[in-house]
Chain A
């Protein structure tokens, strides 16, 4: 029973959920199991042309000249563009919700301006009557390059004599700008306590160096866009994007259009994991459409996805951690260098904030460097920057626990971050659930079971991601049959239509199946930030909750009209509206309200500026083949605090999917470069992501410590589960072989060498 709208941001403490916590079939399910769902590559327009992009064969070169005349003269070629066709780029930052981007860098990444900075860098593009003609035409574009020395390893790029990628880059050294050009675009420092004092109090101090290689998000759908630039100056884009509004803004800024002149319709999206936020194909398709006067589709090939779109950085990390003999972590120090790819603005910031995020350290210091190298511009990849540091810290924490002869879970429990813990970057945690997560793992069948036999080992790892809020909008319309159409701006990458609809249904007291969720284009719904940062079920869910309250208030007023009473005298329980012995179900009231009086439509917008703080702990059992160095995962358990699991199957799915991406990162995946800076494995066959034969079932335990800043206690869940696997598996490998592996991936040749040289 409720008579007034509760404050949206406060946890309501409900326990008797009717919809939340159940497992309904997702609303877009039938479309997706029958092949009917429309992804961007499936979409076509009358008269549509096909585009193709010419890419640099060199990792670093000046462009002396581009001659497109032969390509333009070909039969069936309708337009050719280069950077010269782009409006002059401005050296200004555009806010993109989750971070910001410099437009000069963004535009130069979309089409190279005078210089190519990585192999695969886009140089020119063609629109033609067929994709085959377009691809043939690329061969007739003559580009004269002046090759330059390239650098792909982050520490090499930091040296004084390193080849400089961009003459305009200066080091932002904690606010002070360096004078001469450099590849180090930023130096960040966070400090807490006094690091020297901290280490002087320690009985045991361990310092190690770590290295990780570049890995890709690996979504199965290549980037694709269809653009149609109309004669009235209005640009329409259908695209695979994690954020239709950020795609609109980036494209509008680059093409010097007002945002309202660009409509972005998000098609179904075949995976993103952070890699489909920056624009690549959208402005190219738009420019080709403008020049040809026809709609144009641009779809990437797989090698273009690997070589031309954002991977996550390679890194070098030196981490030192100290503890006392009674098992208390006291001091932590980290020196982190992440490559940013070819343009400034990688993921070093979150790396620095996450490095000591799981534990209580009285003294900590972190130095982080954002470094340009001749690789594709890095982008977010699931908890961007956090997985790297979790690998380093969890390895050292495991070693300290072992040296102190303490159980690895008990040691972590004793030091776990909790409500009130102040992170190294100064943030103080509200109620968080790492302790409960570790306790659940400790009590699990997996942890309680024994692992016996030679070459086998068990390892534990923890991980953290902030989980953001940001802006979301929803609108809803009550239909006469008692069902409700729910329009939202969050592109649905993994079932969020349903997790949003369920919160809406729970609030109104109707079944999830009575909500018809739809993801709308940028003209049809209020501004909504990206599907990223594990924010959608939290933030767009919060908007859906508030929108449901809006609808409920309207229906209450309509019921009051019918019963000739004051709205506050109408009581509502589980979707039944009552007054003085009279009552109507939601469906009955909807029918009446639709027949008489104004239509019932609601809306809500939110912009929660809080973090929902997600923690995960994983346990891995491995067997190492000493003959080959191959690691087999025998058993794997993922535990995570979800706050409240709205649809538990999809929460488990995030935990399992993140774990397996982490397993791939740990054991096999890497960009393999030759000494000329050429990626030698730009195909799925050679990049070798895990197949279903490579992994076991991933056991899951959902912990629910409610988020105090959400009515149903929701925390983001998508990102934390990729963080623990490298630490957990590396620790398991140590316990199987006695070797501490400090470089990712722990591929068979590397591990075999380490075992053989023992």
Chain B
């Protein structure tokens, strides 16, 4: 088998050097080498979105990214969404709106929804559904997830206007 390579990335604001084999996915390295187990493996082929992380500002399925491709990249994961011991408003809205049941898809939804709101804070219901269609949830029927994103939009607007 091929030898391990050294890869340097910025992960959750910190420069990280890690070793990986050419066939290892970013998801595998995050979970097994770097102990960032917030991103989940639901399918390992880019169909479910449970492993969504931000790579250079874009949400990606980390199971479809090779770890060696992360050289020089900026990566953020669900572990970095709460800051300074405080939940992000999106996390708070997910909890208040009961937008999770088993919770396995939640990290992926949070990363994808946060990316959407940063790019398009006024996303309509259709735009929210379109942008979250990469993420599968089998428990909630999506209703409360979409509502939590909408409530976060309202909350953010109220915070800005105050």
* B110 on interface, CB distance cutoff 8 Å: yes
Query: Of residues 66 to 85 in B, which have CB atoms within 8 Å of A's CB atoms?
Result: 77-79, 81-82
Are A695 and B136 touching (Cβ within 8 A)? no
B14 nearest CB across to chain A (Å): 16
Q: For B129, what are the chain A residues with a Cβ–Cβ distance below 8 Å?
A: 691-693
Pair B41/A41 contact, Cβ less than 8 Å: yes
CA distance A217 to B36 in the complex (A): 28
Interface size class of A (residues with CB under 8 A): 35 or more
Q: Out of B36, B42, B144, which one reaches A220, CB within 8 Å?
A: B42
Q: How far is the CA of A690 from the CA of B102 in the complex (A)?
A: 17
Whether the Cβ atoms of A220 and B48 lie closer than 8 Å is yes
Cα–Cα, bound, A456→B141 (Å): 23
* CB of A687, distance to nearest CB on chain B (Å): 9
Known contacts A34-B78, A35-B37, A220-B136: does B102 contact A659 (CB below 8 Å)? Answer: no
Chain A positions within 8 Å of B50 at CB level:
220
0/1 string, A302-320, CB within 8 A of B gives 1: 1000000000000000000
User: A26 an interface residue at 8 Å Cβ cutoff?
Assistant: yes
Q: Return chain B residues, CB-CB under 8 Å to A219.
A: 102, 104, 138
Flag whether B34 is at the interface (Cβ < 8 A): no
- Which of A25, A493, A657, A658 has the most chain B CB within a 10 Å cutoff? A657
Q: Report A652-668 residues with CB < 8 Å from chain B CB.
A: 652-653, 656-661
Q: Is B9's beta carbon under 8 Å from chain A?
A: no
Q: Say whether, besides A33-B106, A271-B102, A684-B43, A657 and B87 are in contact (CB < 8 Å).
A: no
Instruction: Give B101-141 as 1s and 0s: 1 = Cβ < 8 Å from A's Cβ atoms.
Output: 11111110010000000000000000011101111111111
Cβ–Cβ contact A32 & B103, under 8 A:
yes
- Distance in angstroms from B76 CB to nearest chain A CB is 12
Given contacts A302-B42, A302-B47, contact A35 B101 (CB under 8 A): no
Task: Looking at the assembled complex, report how far the CB atom of A224 sits from the nearest CB atom of chain B, in whole angstroms.
Answer: 10
CA distance A273 to B141 in the complex (A): 14
Chain A residue nearest to B128 (CB atoms) is A692
Contacts of A657 on B, CB cut-off 8 Å?
A: 101, 138-141
Within 8 A of A (CB), among B18-57: 21, 23, 31, 36-48, 50
Residue-wise interface mask of A (263-280) relative to B, using a CB-CB cutoff of 8 A (1 in contact, 0 not): 000001111110000000
CB distance from B37 to the nearest CB of A (A): 4
- Assess whether A139 is interfacial by the CB under 8 Å rule: no
Establish whether residues B78 and A649, one from each chain, have CB atoms under 8 Å apart when the complex forms.
no
| Chain A: CB-nearest residue to B97 | A649
- Measured as residues with beta carbon below 8 angstroms from the partner, the interface class of chain B is 35 or more
The answer to whether A220 and B98 have CB atoms under 8 Å apart is no
Minimum Cβ distance to chain B for residue A121 (Å) = 21
CB of A683 within 8 A of CB of B43, answer yes
- Please determine whether B31 and A692 come into contact, CB atoms closer than 8 angstroms: no
Distance in Å: Cβ of B88 to nearest Cβ of chain A: 8
A495 at the binding interface (Cβ < 8 Å):
yes
Bound CA span A689–B103, Å: 18
Q: B44 near A32 (CB under 8 angstroms)?
A: no
> Which of B36, B40, B87, B133 has its CB near the most chain A CB atoms (within 10 A)?
B40
From B39, B45, B142, contact of A692 by CB (8 A) = B142
Nearest A residue to B77 via CB reads A35
Chain A residues, CB < 8 A from B16: none
Question: Which of B94, B130, B144 has the largest number of chain A CB atoms within 10 A?
Answer: B144
A275 to chain B, nearest CB (A): 11
Q: Are B138 and A35 in contact (CB-based, < 8 A)? A: no
A301 to B45, CA, bound (A): 10
Chain A residues positioned under 8 Å from B138 (CB to CB)? 217-220, 271, 273, 657, 661, 689
Q: Which A residue sits closest to B144, measured CB to CB?
A: A653
User: How long is the Cα–Cα vector from A433 to B144 in the complex, in angstroms?
Assistant: 26
Roughly how many angstroms separate A542 CA and B111 CA in the complex, as a whole number?
38
Beta-carbon contacts of A480-503 to B below 8 Å, as 1s and 0s?
Answer: 000000000000011100000000
> Are B82 and A653 in contact, with the CB atoms below 8 A?
no
Contact B44 A302 (CB under 8 A): yes
Known contacts A222-B41, A271-B102, A683-B45; A33 and B133 CB within 8 A of each other: no
Chain B residues near A406: list those with CB within 8 A: none
CB of A35 within 8 A of CB of B102, answer no
Within 8 A of B (CB), among A238-266: none
Query: How many A-B contacts if CB must be within 8 Å?
Result: 183
B79 surroundings in chain A (CB, below 8 A): 34-35
Interface assignment of A328: CB less than 8 Å from any CB of chain B: no
Quick check: A692 and B146 within 8 Å, CB to CB?
yes
What residues of chain A lie closer than 8 Å to B128, measured between beta carbons? Answer: 692
Docked complex Cα distance between A36 and B134 (Å)? 23
Q: Is the CB of B43 within 8 A of A41?
A: no
Q: Looking across the interface, which residue of chain A has its beta carbon closest to that of B93?
A: A33
Pair A220/B96 contact, Cβ less than 8 Å: no
Q: How many angstroms from the CA of A292 to the CA of B89 in the assembled complex?
A: 47
Please report the C-alpha to C-alpha distance between residue A79 and residue B39 in the assembled complex, in whole angstroms: 30
Query: 1/0 per residue A288-304: CB within 8 Å of B?
Result: 00000000000101100
State which residues 206-236 of A face B: CB under 8 Å.
217-222
Task: Please determine whether B141 and A270 come into contact, CB atoms closer than 8 angstroms.
Answer: no
**B100 contacts A697, C-beta separation under 8 Å:** no
Interface presence of A749 (CB below 8 A):
no
* Cβ–Cβ < 8 Å partners of A658 in chain B: 141
Are the CB atoms of B98 and A23 closer together than 8 Å? yes
Known: A495-B98, A684-B48. A221 touches B104 (CB 8 A): yes
A299 to B31, CA, bound (A): 14
Instruction: Give the CA-CA distance A23 to B97 in the complex, in Å.
Output: 9
Closest to A654 in B: B101
> In the docked arrangement, what's the CA distance between A337 and B74, Å?
56
- Residues A371-412 near B (CB distance < 8 A): none
A420 at the interface (CB under 8 A from B): no
Q: How long is the Cα–Cα vector from A302 to B48 in the complex, in angstroms?
A: 10
Whole-angstrom CA separation of A26 from B37 in the bound complex: 21
Q: Is the CB–CB distance between B143 and A302 below 8 Å?
A: no
Residue of B nearest to A42 (CB): B37
Measured between C-beta atoms, what is the minimum distance from B160 to chain A in Å? 23
Is B152 close to A, CB under 8 A?
A: no
Which residue of A has the minimal Cβ distance to B103? A32
By a CB distance below 8 angstroms, the chain A residues around B23 are: 132
Tell whether, in the assembled complex, residue A30 and residue B136 are in contact, meaning their CB atoms are under 8 Å apart: no
In the complex, what distance in Å separates the CA atom of A292 from the CA atom of B21? 25
Given A26-B98, A35-B38, check contact A494 B136 (CB 8 Å).
Answer: no
Task: Map CB proximity to B onto A27-70 as digits: 1 under 8 Å, 0 otherwise.
Answer: 01110111111110110000000000000000000000000000
Residue in chain A with minimal CB distance to B94:
A33
Cβ B47 vs Cβ A653 within 8 A:
no
In the bound complex, residues from chain B placing their C-beta under 8 Å from that of A697 are: 143, 146-147
Whether, in the assembled complex, A685 has its beta carbon less than 8 Å from a beta carbon of chain B, the answer is yes
State the CA gap A218–B48 with chains docked (Å).
11
29 A–B contacts, CB within 8 A, in A order: A23-B98, A25-B96, A32-B103, A34-B78, A35-B77, A35-B78, A35-B107, A132-B23, A221-B40, A221-B104, A271-B101, A271-B138, A273-B138, A302-B43, A494-B102, A647-B98, A649-B97, A652-B98, A657-B140, A683-B47, A684-B45, A684-B136, A685-B46, A685-B47, A689-B138, A691-B134, A692-B128, A692-B132, A692-B142
Sorted nearest first, the 8 A-B pairs with minimum C-beta distance are A35-B38, A270-B104, A660-B141, A32-B103, A656-B141, A684-B47, A649-B98, A494-B101
Known: A30-B87, A132-B23, A220-B136. 8 other contacts (CB 8 A): A32-B100, A33-B103, A35-B39, A35-B77, A220-B50, A302-B45, A652-B144, A684-B47
- Interface residues, chain A, with chain B CB atoms under 8 Å away: 23, 25-26, 28-30, 32-39, 41-42, 132, 217-222, 268-273, 299, 301-302, 493-495, 647, 649-650, 652-653, 656-661, 683-685, 689-695, 697-698
